[in-house]
Every structure is written in structure tokens, then in C-alpha cells.
Amino acid sequence: MSLNTTSHQPAPAAVILAAGMSSRCGRFKPLLPLGDETILERVIRIYRNAGISDIIVVTGYRSEDIIPLIERMHAGFVLNPRYDHGMFSSVTAGVSYLSDICPAFFIHPVDIPMVRPQTVICLQEAFARGGNGIYYPVVTGERGHPPLISGNYRKDLIAWNGSDGLRGFLSQYEPDARDVSVADRFIIQDIDSSEDYHRVLESLSGYDIPSEDECRTLMTGVSEDIRRHCDAVAIEAEHLGKSLNAAGCCLDISLMVAAARVHDIARAYPDHATAGAQILRCHGFERVADIVALHMNFSAAEDAPITEAEVVYIADKQVQADRVTGVEARFESKLQRHAADPDIRRYILKRRDRARKSLQRIETRIADFLRSRQG
């Protein structure tokens, strides 16, 4: 069975499952702090940030404690009096509350709180293009949450006998399912135990930095030559960053490496640094985007601190194709290629001068440190 949808339909709804007793975790998960908000607030905000206004939270255990929070967030709620019968009872309670004309709905367990809003947007866009009735987010070949399910399945889901829960219901319609690749490692990161919760807390500080796997997903469709170049720049940036940190700098190595891995994401487009930064901002990677925007042209005052953007910039200028050849060799090849065009050569020479100054700043910082150790 294949379902047709159009971009003119109303936005999907979101059903957030927050009725369980959190017995395996030992603490009531919806109200656990996550940064400056609770887990439930964060999950609601995922959908708000993705442009979804029809948000229903299914409550049950300790409903009196979370309903005031839900109301403050201007979301709806429905009580599942049978919450002790398992998660699928909450699925049916939430879906039953939706309108008959609801075009589609997300099912989101509250204990998967780090999903990126862009993942929700990607699934909506896939649904709007049509052709399928069930959409799963996928990272590194693994399906995660939240699935987006066509409203055409609503009545059948409510009538389902509950065998193997939501998974059992959806497995009947595998021919109508589509996997949507997303740069989101958090679709498979749930909180079942206190150890899982602490891992999620540790993820907060690097939430806006894509992992290596997420970078590979972002680079899908980019040529193999460019991906190899980006990987080589990432290795050089990491090497320089660690040397500079040893010399007293406070650079975020993970941020630099991620930015280097995707710095040529829009290499096929005009003004690819700006275009690449725009793509990354759309995915929520603001700090990475700021670095990518500067990787073609960077300048800093002589006494300015060395930043992650400068390191990625000079690492890129050190790498030709997928080999470290140095700044001079990189620009010499460009000068030879444009030997007959004086205007382009002047532009290249200006860029080489900037790169030389940046490289000198970095090398001087490292050399001074090494001399101080020897002394």
C-alpha cells in the first residue's frame, strides 16, 4: 500500500509518551533535569522548534506532577489510566486523542530526549513529498525514534491487539515504510538506567558538534575525493590543535575536527564556504558553521588569540588533495594553474600572504613553548 501526501496538508501531530513509572531508571524520567530544563520540557521543545504545534503528552504515573509543566508549555495532555499495562497502552491513548483528520503523527517516548529538531523536520519533508505511510529516522543504518506515521493508520493502530507493541503493529506495513537518513546520533540514545541518564548529561556539552558518523551522513552525496580531502584536513587540524593546547591554548579539538570533516560540504556550489555554513546552520550546528564560513579566507590581528577557525583554515591550506604538502606547495600549484591570468594570480598571492601570516602565528606559538621547555 502506498499513500499520497501533499505539502498543503496540515502539519503532523506529536504524541509524547510520559505515562510510565520509570522503574528501571529508579527516578521519574519526565522530571529529571537536563541542562536548565526537565526531560519532558526538552522533548516538547524539540517539536516546538520543528514547527509543530499539535503536541499531546500522554500522562499516567504521577500525572499530577507533570500536568502543570505541560500546561506551562502550552501542550495538550491525555491521561492513560492503564499506564501499568505497558507502553502500547499509552500509544493508543495518545493516538485516540488525535483528530480523525490528523495527516500524520510522531510517536516519541519521553526517555529519548536529545533528538535534533532537524530530524523531525527531515521526516516531515519526506512525508510531504509522499509515496510512503511510515517514515523512520536512520543513523549509521540503525532505525531510531521518532517514527512518523500516516493518519491513515490511526484507526488500525487503535484496534491493534497489542502483540509486540508498536513495533509489532508497524512490522505489518514494512512495504510502506521508508528510512530517512539523518545526522542525529541521538535517535538511538534512550534513558533506561541511571547510567544512561549520566551519559545523556555528558552529551549536552557537545550536542551541537556532529560526531564522526554524523559528519559522514552530512557528507552523503559529496564526492569521494572531497571527503578524503576533508578527512586529511581533520587529521592535520587535530595535530595542530593538540600541539597548540600543549602550548597553552584552550581549543576545542572535537569542534575543530568536526568542522574540518565537513568544511567542503558545499564544494560544488559557488561561494562554497557560505553555502556550507548555511547547510550546517539548518542542521543546528551553529559553531561548526561559523568555522566553515571562514575556512577560505581568514585573517587575525597579530596579537589576537588563536581560534578553532584559524586552525581549520590553516590545516586546509596545508593539505592538497589528501596529502599534507604545506602552504607554499598548495598555493604554488594554484599560481601555476592560473599563470596566464594576472588578476587571479594577484588574488591568489593575497590569499597566500594571509595564510603565511596565520601559519607563522601558529608555528611561533608552538616553537616558543618548545623552547621554554628546553630552557
Is the pLDDT at 23 greater than 80? The verdict is no
Is the pLDDT at 5 greater than 60? The verdict is no
Dist CA 13 CA 54 (whole Å):
5
Q: What is the pLDDT of residue 375?
A: 59
Dist CA 136 CA 113 (whole Å):
17
The full set of domains in the chain, from first to last, is 13-206 (3.90.550.10), 212-374 (1.10.3210.10)
Is the pLDDT at 193 greater than 60? The verdict is yes
Q: What is the pLDDT of residue 372?
A: 83
Q: What is the pLDDT of residue 302?
A: 84
Mean pLDDT to the nearest integer, 103-125: 97
Omega before 210 within 30 of 0, i.e. cis: no
Nearest to 123 by CA among 135, 113, 114: 135
Q: What is the pLDDT of residue 7?
A: 45
Q: What is the pLDDT of residue 4?
A: 37
Phi–psi pair at 228, nearest 5 degrees = -65, -40
Dump pLDDT digits (tens) for 54-86: 999 999 999 999 999 999 999 999 999 999 999
For the chain, the average pLDDT equals 93
Mean pLDDT to the nearest integer, 204-224: 95
Mean pLDDT to the nearest integer, 317-330: 94
Is the pLDDT at 1 greater than 70? The verdict is no
